[in-house]
């Protein structure tokens, strides 16, 4: 409880910079956001006193999501910068951790004090707390006549979108999947809807326990339904600020995790026409001609539904940028593609997605993130390709093989002539899951698929997959589409779904501060 007096002295939360960023309970950080000057010392009381300041307060929530804190306030790309992508990749088998940076995540040797999982948890709740402060502040600004209800509702829609996105990220790392129990009544994470900004709320937060996974997903959908109803269809910053289409797209992901196939199709049909060409009537989303374009043109392409923006003036630093972590051409190249996916038979040798790579004498690396100098690569959250494949899987599971196959081939066919024909049933579902591994390689989505499929144990590993160990890697382990990997290279063993390591522990900082959470720690930690 040592930080409680500190927090009570910091209740006037600076929303922009420097900021006190509240976690689930008692975590704080200082962070500078240079591009928001001259409003760089706004307190919570002053942030909602002019329309311009309200706008900047909303921007502050995006900033917290783009580049949260790390030990001592360093910027490392938490929670939705590079760290989000790297964590999602390194919990899976298709990207390979080469150095010590993500060795704990990659090898599943984490504990309640491990930095990667602790800061992921704490920065996600910092985003949630800022979102909740903005919601409360905007409601007051509307009541005071400072902004119109329409403008206020749109701001709240953005905050609720980011709140839902953050809670879902927490659920896929710190809780078992939706289908772990028949009614999803098992423990999820605390779903926070009030800011921790008064002494009473500090005390309340210190006693809040975990919602069930079922209730957490229900609240997620409430937030996203509100966002859909109140966000605009288009913006000048179409990709880096939440829109109606982004809320709908995220709902297709959430409902896929819930195994609500009809719900995925219902939401997806708002964006995806009944037949090709698949150009969305909402937001104008469509697949780009090349699979490389969403990354070559971060902020101006038709496929990216939502991403977090980075720039030369506001980025995640050398130790937290995608360009540094993944790019070997001028970057540190700490994470490479694994031979496990590179050699997969279902990835054609002539597939154009193999060209979005760089090879060295050691390994093969993704080239989706190419700005190692100023770290300006945006962090991808959702692309239209994912929406198409979400709907494809739901249609396949619901029995409409024809539409599922058409959607699958729309994504696959822009990269290779080796499209599928006459697939149905389990073979079609497996092909869709396999396609996700190719299409979203290096985008942090692999763990989400492992998490939602592991209990079923049919279309993906029934646990944490076996992985190639960097110490055992040889350059000639990479043989495109060969269908096998040298046995000695795969030296990090499979961990079954029932093992406690399948999900992360709640951080020691949180369970020490909250006796309710202490009693609800994930088993085994």
DSSP states of 391-455 as a string?
HHHHHHHHT-HHHHHHHHHHHHHTT-S----S--HHHHHHHHHHHHHHHTTTTT-HHHHHHHHTT
- pLDDT the model gives residue 32: 30
The helix (run of H) or strand (run of E) holding residue 226 is helix 213-230
Distance in angstroms (rounded) separating the CA atoms of residues 238 and 200: 39
Tokens of 180: 């772990």
- pLDDT the model gives residue 315: 79
Q: Name the residue ranges covered by the structural domains of the chain.
A: 4-309+380-518
Q: Cis check for the bond before 352: say yes or no (omega within 30 of 0).
A: no
Whole-prediction pTM: 0.93
Distance in angstroms (rounded) separating the CA atoms of residues 420 and 403: 13
For 4-309+380-518, CATH gives 1.25.40.390
- Of 167, 260, 160, give the one whose Cα is nearest residue 213: 167
- pLDDT the model gives residue 426: 98
Please report the sign of the dihedral spanned by the C-alpha atoms of residue 468, residue 474, residue 480, residue 481.
Answer: negative
SS3 state of residue 335? strand
C-beta neighbour count of 165 within 10 angstroms: 30
Distance in angstroms (rounded) separating the CA atoms of residues 36 and 56: 7
Distance in angstroms (rounded) separating the CA atoms of residues 420 and 516: 51
- Of 141, 132, 156, 133, give the one whose Cα is nearest residue 49: 141
Tokens of 411: 């994504």
Taking CB atoms within 8 Å and a gap of at least 24, the contacts of 287-292 are 287/384, 287/385, 287/388, 287/410, 287/411, 287/414, 288/414, 289/414, 290/352, 290/414, 291/352, 291/353, 291/356, 291/414, 291/415, 291/439, 292/352, 292/355, 292/356
Q: What is the dihedral of CA 330, 335, 339, 340, to 10 degrees?
A: -150
Residue 337 phi/psi, 5-degree rounding, is -75, 145
Residue 502: left if φ>0, alpha if ψ -120 to 50, beta else—which one?
A: alpha
Q: What is the dihedral of CA 405, 411, 416, 420, to 10 degrees?
A: -10
Q: How long is the chain?
A: 525
Q: Cis check for the bond before 9: say yes or no (omega within 30 of 0).
A: no
β-partners of residue 31 are: none
- pLDDT the model gives residue 33: 29
Q: Tens-digit pLDDT profile for the chain (525 aa)? A: 333 322 222 232 333 322 333 333 323 333 332 233 333 446 777 889 999 999 999 999 999 999 888 887 888 889 998 899 999 999 999 999 999 989 999 999 999 999 999 999 999 999 999 999 999 999 999 999 999 999 999 999 999 999 999 999 999 999 999 999 999 999 999 999 999 988 899 889 999 999 999 999 999 999 999 999 999 999 988 899 999 999 999 999 999 999 999 999 999 999 999 999 999 999 999 999 999 999 999 989 999 999 999 988 887 788 889 999 999 999 999 999 999 999 999 999 999 999 999 999 999 999 999 999 999 999 999 999 999 999 999 999 999 999 999 999 999 999 999 999 999 999 999 999 999 999 999 999 999 999 999 999 999 999 999 999 999 999 999 999 999 999 999 999 999 999 999 999 999 999 999 999 999 999 999
- pLDDT the model gives residue 435: 98
Residue given tokens 């006459």 in the structure block: 422
- pLDDT the model gives residue 44: 79
The helix (run of H) or strand (run of E) holding residue 261 is helix 261-268
Distance in angstroms (rounded) separating the CA atoms of residues 219 and 227: 12
Distance in angstroms (rounded) separating the CA atoms of residues 273 and 4: 53
Q: Are 331 and 323 in contact (CB under 8 A)?
A: yes
Tokens of 300: 């101006």
Distances in whole angstroms, Cα of residue 445 to Cα of each of 77, 245, 519 = 16, 19, 31
Q: Are 314 and 67 in contact (CB under 8 A)?
A: yes
SS3 state of residue 458? coil
Distance in angstroms (rounded) separating the CA atoms of residues 255 and 248: 11
């Amino acid at each position: 409880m040592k930080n409680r007096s500190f927090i009570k002295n910091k209740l006037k939360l600076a929303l922009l910079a420097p900021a006190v960023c509240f976690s689930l309970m008692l975590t704080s950080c200082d962070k500078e956001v240079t591009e928001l000057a001259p409003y760089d010392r706004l307190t919570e009381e002053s942030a909602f006193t002019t329309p311009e300041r309200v706008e900047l307060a909303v921007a502050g929530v995006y900033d917290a999501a783009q580049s949260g804190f790390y030990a001592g306030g360093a910027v490392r790309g938490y929670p939705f910068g590079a760290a989000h992508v790297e964590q999602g990749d390194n919990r899976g088998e298709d990207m390979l951790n080469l150095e010590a940076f993500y060795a704990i995540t990659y090898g599943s040797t984490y504990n309640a004090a491990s930095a990667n999982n602790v800061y992921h948890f704490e920065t996600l709740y910092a985003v949630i707390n800022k979102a909740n402060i903005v919601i409360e502040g905007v409601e007051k600004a509307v009541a005071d006549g400072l902004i119109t209800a329409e403008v206020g509702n749109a701001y709240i829609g953005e905050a609720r979108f980011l709140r839902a996105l953050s809670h879902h990220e927490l659920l896929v790392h710190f809780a078992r999947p939706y289908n772990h129990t028949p009614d999803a009544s098992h423990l999820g994470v605390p779903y926070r809807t009030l800011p921790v900004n008064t002494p009473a709320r500090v005390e309340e937060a210190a006693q809040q326990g975990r919602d069930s996974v079922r209730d957490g997903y229900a609240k997620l959908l409430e937030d996203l339904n509100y966002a859909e109803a109140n966000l605009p269809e288009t913006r000048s910053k179409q990709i880096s600020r939440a829109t109606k289409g982004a809320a709908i797209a995220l709902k297709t992901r959430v409902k896929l995790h819930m195994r609500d196939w009809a719900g995925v199709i219902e939401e997806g049909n708002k964006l995806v026409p009944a037949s090709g060409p698949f150009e969305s009537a909402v937001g104008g989303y469509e697949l780009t001609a090349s699979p490389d374009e969403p990354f070559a043109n971060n902020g101006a392409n038709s496929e990216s539904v939502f991403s977090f923006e980075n720039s030369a003036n506001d980025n995640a630093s050398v130790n937290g940028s995608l360009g540094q972590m993944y790019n070997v051409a001028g970057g540190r190249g700490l994470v490479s593609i694994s031979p496990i996916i590179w050699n997969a038979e279902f990835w054609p040798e002539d597939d154009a997605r193999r060209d979005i790579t760089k090879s060295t004498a050691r390994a093969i690396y993704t080239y989706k993130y190419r700005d190692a100098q100023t770290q300006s690569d945006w962090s991808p959250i959702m692309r239209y390709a994912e929406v198409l494949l979400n709907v494809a899987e739901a249609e396949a599971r619901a029995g409409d093989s024809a539409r599922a196959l058409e959607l699958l081939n729309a994504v696959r066919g822009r990269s290779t002539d080796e499209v599928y024909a006459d697939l149905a049933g389990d073979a079609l579902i497996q092909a869709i899951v396999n396609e996700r591994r190719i299409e979203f390689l290096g985008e942090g989505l692999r763990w989400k698929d492992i998490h939602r499929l592991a209990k079923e144990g049919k279309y993906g590993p029934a646990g944490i997959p076996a992985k190639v160990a960097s110490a055992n890697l040889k350059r000639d382990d990479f043989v495109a589409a060969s269908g096998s990997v040298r046995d000695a290279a795969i030296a990090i063993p499979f961990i079954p779904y029932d093992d406690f390591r399948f999900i992360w522990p709640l951080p020691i900082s949180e369970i020490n501060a909250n006796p309710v959470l202490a009693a609800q720690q994930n088993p085994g930690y």
